[in-house]
Structure 1
Amino acid sequence: MASLNVYSVLVVLFLTCGAVMTTKENDQIIKENNCETKMGLPCVLEAFTSIFERGSISIKCCGELVLLGKVCHSALVKRSLENPLFKDLSPATIIAKSIQTWNNCLALIDSPSPSA
């Protein structure tokens, strides 16, 4: 019975350390890449709404998101998921929506503009 308790404590410690390491890793990526300074607040809000709620993102903000870069985009989304305010959201759903938003923006920005 004691070994079960030790095992439980080890699992909790492992999970806690993993969560702390993930937070530090995302924070380090964000800091090293100056991720928080690369998008204007209106576009941050549009991207956030399209990922965490229901909404769309404009072509202008897609451009800012693509310039932000995939590494920053992923780290910011993952860090947001660590916030207790979002504990009721499905991380898998949010990650899928963030990938969809990224891919849609990338396709939109990479597509040739219609000729005038």
Structure 2
Amino acid sequence: MTGLSAYSLLVVLFITSGVVIATEENNQIIIKNNCESKMGMPCVWEVLNSIFKIGSVTSKCCDELVVLGKVCHFALVTRTLESSNFQNLDRDTIIQKSIDTWNNCLLMTNSPSPSP
């Protein structure tokens, strides 16, 4: 149950502006690109689960992630990692999982649909 509470807190901090202590650069990127309003909540959960836990991202949510853009994706993940609440996470692992999630979604959205 504690894991679920920590995960819920992570989602709230990930999508709520002004709650997470972050560098000016990431905040500027997020504000300038309106990053926090480009994905629906179900897809935010899916992407976060694939990065901070274990899971995969559906084609629909990959489409939303790619529309969000690489700059927003990495700025949001980095901002989350900069929070003192998440300094106990293995930063290298989270960044690698973030890169893997981005690359997998990019491949999925660029792949032609299978023939019927």
Output the amino acid matched with 2:49. Answer: T
Task: Give the number of aligned pairs.
Answer: 96
Bigger radius of gyration, 1 or 2? 1
Structure 2 residue matching 1:101: 3-state secondary structure: helix
Per-residue deviation, residues 32-83 of structure 1 (Å, max 9, x unmatched): 0000000001100110110011111111100100010000000000001012
Q: Relative contact order (C-alpha < 8 Å, sep 6+): which is higher?
A: 2
Runs of at least 5 residues in structure 2 that lack an aligned partner in the other structure: 1-20
- Corresponding position of 2:14: none
Q: Counterparts in 2 of 1:11-90, with a 5 A limit? A: 23-90=23-90
1:3-14 superposed matches below 5 A: none
**Cα distance in 1 for residues equivalent to 2:26 and 2:109:** 26
Q: Are 1:113 and 2:113 counterparts? A: yes
> Which amino acid is 1:98 matched to?
S
Please name the residue that 1:97 is paired with: 97
Give the SS at the match of 1:56.
Answer: coil
TM-score (norm 1): 0.79
Q: What is the CA–CA distance in structure 1 between the aligned matches of 2:106 and 2:28, rounded to whole Å?
A: 25
Distance in 1 between the 2:50 and 2:93 partners? 12
Matched AA of 1:104: N
Aligned alpha-carbon RMSD (Å)? 1.3
Letter in 2 for 1:73: H
Q: Which runs of 5+ in 1 are unaligned?
A: 1-19
Identity of aligned residues (%): 61
* Larger relative helix fraction: 1
In the superposition, the TM-score normalised over structure 2's length comes to: 0.79
